[in-house]
C-alpha cells in the first residue's frame, strides 16, 4: 500500500533541462530525511490556500533520500514559472506522496502502458522500478508525443527494450493524440492488442486519450477496472 502523504521539506540539488519545455529537479530530502513512496506517485506544491500544482516523481523508491520531479513548463502558469526558477540550494515545501497510479506487485498480469507526452513520467518510474527489482514480466509501452523531440526518455526506453526481451517499446510521434485517426495512442493500442486475456493497462495523459484507449480496450473485452489511469489535463 502507498504511504500516507506528509508535509515535506527538501533542498534542490540539481535542475536539468530535458528539452526547453521539460525540466527535471533533484530534491535532497530534509524532513523527513527519506520519502516513503511507490513508483508512479506524485507530490503537491502549494502556491496559496487553494492553489497547488502536482508533479510526478520521476525517480524510483530505491533512492528515498533524494527524489526527482519532472514537469512540462510549456503552459507558462504559476507552477511553470516556479519550476523554471528553481536553482541549487533552494528550499522546497510540498506534500506527498499522493496518488494511486501504482503497480500492485502481486498482480502478475501482462502490462500495457500508454503514455501521452508528460504522462510518461509515472510510467517510466514504474518501468525503472521493475527493472531495478529484476522483474521481467511481459510489458508493452506505447509512448506518444507531438514530435520526436518530446519523447524525452527515448534513449533510456530503447535501452530497456534491448536488455529485456519481454518489453516491447512503441514510440509514436505526430497526429493528434485525442483524435480518432491513425497514429494516435488509441489507434496504436487497437492495432497492437489482439488478446486482452491476462492484461492490465496503465494509461497516463490527457482525458481524451484516456477515454479513447479505454474504449478500444473494453471493446476487445477488457474489464473497465483493468484500465488504471492518471489524468494530467
What is the four-CA torsion angle of 198, 218, 183, 142, rounded to 10 degrees? Answer: -30
Quote the pLDDT of residue 97: 98
Whether residue 105 contacts residue 137, with contact meaning beta carbons closer than 8 Å, is answered with no
Q: Span 149-174, mean pLDDT?
A: 94
How many whole angstroms separate alpha carbon 98 and alpha carbon 100? 7
Quote the pLDDT of residue 4: 87
Q: Span 188-199, mean pLDDT?
A: 96
Task: Kindly indicate the confidence band of residue 1, based on its pLDDT and cuts at 50, 70 and 90.
Answer: low
| pLDDT exceeds cutoff 60 at 142 | yes
Question: Could you give the domains of the chain?
Answer: 6-98 (2.40.30.10), 110-231 (3.40.50.80)
Summarize pLDDT for 11-38 with one digit per residue, the tens: 999 999 999 999 999 999 999 999 999 9
Task: Kindly indicate the confidence band of residue 125, based on its pLDDT and cuts at 50, 70 and 90.
Answer: very high
Helix axes 185-192, 207-219, angle to 10 degrees: 20
Quote the pLDDT of residue 48: 77
| Residue keyed to cell 507526452 | 117
| pLDDT exceeds cutoff 60 at 204 | yes
Quote the pLDDT of residue 169: 98
Amino acid at each position: 500500500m502507498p504511504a500516507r502523504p506528509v508535509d515535506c521539506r527538501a533542498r534542490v540539488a540539481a535542475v536539468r533541462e530535458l528539452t526547453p519545455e521539460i525540466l527535471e529537479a533533484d530534491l535532497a530530502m530534509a524532513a523527513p530525511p527519506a520519502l516513503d513512496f511507490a513508483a508512479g506517485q506524485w507530490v503537491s506544491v502549494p502556491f496559496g490556500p487553494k492553489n497547488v500544482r502536482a508533479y510526478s516523481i520521476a525517480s524510483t523508491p530505491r533512492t528515498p533520500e533524494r527524489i526527482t520531479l519532472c514537469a512540462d513548463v510549456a503552459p507558462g502558469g504559476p507552477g511553470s514559472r516556479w519550476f523554471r526558477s528553481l536553482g541549487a540550494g533552494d528550499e522546497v515545501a510540498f506534500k506527498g506522496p499522493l496518488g494511486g497510479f501504482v503497480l500492485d506487485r502481486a498482480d502478475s498480469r501482462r502490462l500495457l502502458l500508454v503514455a501521452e507526452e508528460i504522462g510518461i513520467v509515472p510510467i517510466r518510474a514504474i518501468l525503472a522500478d521493475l527493472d531495478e527489482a529484476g522483474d521481467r514480466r511481459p510489458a508493452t509501452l506505447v509512448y506518444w508525443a507531438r514530435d520526436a523531440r518530446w519523447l524525452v526518455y527515448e534513449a533510456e526506453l530503447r535501452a530497456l527494450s534491448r536488455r529485456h526481451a519481454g518489453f516491447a517499446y512503441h514510440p509514436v510521434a505526430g497526429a493528434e493524440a485525442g483524435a480518432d485517426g491513425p497514429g494516435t495512442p488509441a489507434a496504436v493500442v487497437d492495432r497492437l492488442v489482439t488478446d486482452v486475456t491476462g492484461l492490465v493497462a496503465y494509461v497516463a495523459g490527457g482525458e481524451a486519450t484516456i477515454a479513447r484507449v479505454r474504449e478500444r480496450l473494453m471493446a476487445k473485452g477488457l474489464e473497465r477496472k483493468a484500465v488504471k489511469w492518471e489524468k494530467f489535463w
